[in-house]
Chains A and B, each alone.
Chain A
Amino acid sequence: MDRKHLTEEAIFTFLDGTVSEYNHDIIHHLNTCDRCRSLLHQYQILYDELAREPENALSAEFNQQLMQRISIQSQRRFAWAKKESLYVIFTLLAMTTMIFMRYVNLHSLIGSFSKLRILPEIILSFIRSPVLETISPIKTHLPVCLMTVIVILSVILLDRLLINRFFEPLKYHIH
């Protein structure tokens, strides 16, 4: 270490304060070598300057301007989200109606509503029935499955896209 000059990497390690087993050797070398001491000094000045706070700073109105921007953006998003919510709800209603009309027989549905009071009996007889396989699973369950999926998707969509994302900034817009 005494004979060779310090590498710049060694000087950076020393200045960065990184724990090094060679730190003692570096200090010893610096005490005896003018060239390396001068280099260390130059880098020390560079480090000090790099760590110096910039003279220019954000304007005093920055916070106020930021709040105003958040307020304007929130209002725009709120208006957009309201409109968008209506579109989503309308589309979902239309899709549900179409599926309902395509797959469900309204007359039998009304009839089945009148039989609601004997529903437990129907369910029990259905469970006990040995001929479950005779019921077409696609025809019976597809509308229900589709509607369930649509409802779940719409809840996720409304929650993720509209509520979390767009209504969040509303909390800060009135001061």
Chain B
Amino acid sequence: MNQNDKTGIRLIEAVQKGNPSAFEQFVEQYKRLIYHIVLRMIPNETDCEDVCQDIFLKIIQNLSGFRHESKVSTWIAKIAYNQCLNYLKKKRVKLVDDCLPGEIHSGSIDTESLAPDAYIQNRDIRERLHDMIDQLPVHFRIALTLFHLEDMHYNEIAYIMNLPVGTVKSYLFRARKSLRKNLENHYLREEIWIEST
């Protein structure tokens, strides 16, 4: 158990006792994680903050349900993930989608804004990459976010997404491969991708 987990458990205990400052600390500590999950799963930014608030309300209601079976961050991420899935189901967003490499087309991306400056090139790659990530199916997006941004292990992601570890690995593998291939297809013409490597 690392320091963050200890702090998380201490905060949950304090929040359960009704300590308001502990609750504020709790929000401060975990809002970044929740926001990352929501941002990746719900592309509509206007709804992001409302969904984040809904997740915190859900967490408060379920505090007594935390059984120390997982890390606090994993437990929170699972609640956030399920809440976002419910939101997307309500909005009738297609959830079960399978993306094979090459399915994401960069044809819709504007290529005229490229500039020679390295900073702009990097920024351009970043923007295009985020556009491409947004086009990936939800499960691919969330697996990428939890692994790369939140430094979670395969088994933690599998627990959060309620999937076998092998499936999570497969999602990550295919998502990265697909993103690289699309970036390569896009930038091969511009020679930026090659130059930057």
Q: Which residues on A are within 8 Å of B, measured CB to CB?
A: 8-9, 12, 38, 41-43, 45-47, 49-54, 56-59, 62-63, 65-66, 69-70, 73, 164-165, 168-169, 171-172, 175
- Whether A65 and B20, one on each chain, are in contact in the complex, defined by CB atoms closer than 8 angstroms, is no
> Does B78 sit within 8 A of A, measured CB to CB?
no
Q: Is the CB of A8 within 8 A of B52?
A: no
Residue-wise, chain B 76-115 has the 8 Å CB interface mask toward A (1 for contact) of 0000000000000000000000000000000000000000
Nearest CB on A from B172, distance (A) = 8
11 contacts between A and B (CB under 8 A): A45-B125, A46-B129, A49-B129, A53-B149, A56-B45, A59-B49, A63-B28, A70-B56, A70-B57, A168-B63, A169-B57
Kindly state the separation between the CA atoms of A167 and B197 in the bound complex, as whole angstroms. 58
Q: Which of B3-11, B66-74, B155-163, B174-182 contacts A (4 or more CB under 8 A)?
A: B174-182
Interface footprint category on B: 35 or more
Dominant SS among interface residues on chain B? helix
B interface residues with partner A (beta carbon < 8 Å): 18, 20, 23-24, 27-28, 31, 35-36, 39, 45, 48-49, 52-53, 56-57, 60-61, 63-64, 125-126, 129, 133, 144, 148-149, 172-173, 176-177, 179-180, 183-184, 193-194, 196-197
Distance between Cα atoms of A68 and B182 in the complex (Å): 44
User: Which residues of chain A come closer than 8 Å to B24, judged between CB atoms?
Assistant: 63
Q: How many angstroms between the C-alpha atoms of A169 and B35 in the bound complex?
A: 22
Chain A nearest Cβ from B185, distance in angstroms: 12
Instruction: Other than A46-B176, A169-B61, give 15 A-B pairs with Cβ distance below 8 A.
Output: A8-B177, A9-B173, A42-B180, A42-B183, A49-B129, A51-B148, A52-B126, A58-B52, A65-B53, A66-B27, A69-B57, A70-B60, A168-B61, A169-B57, A172-B18
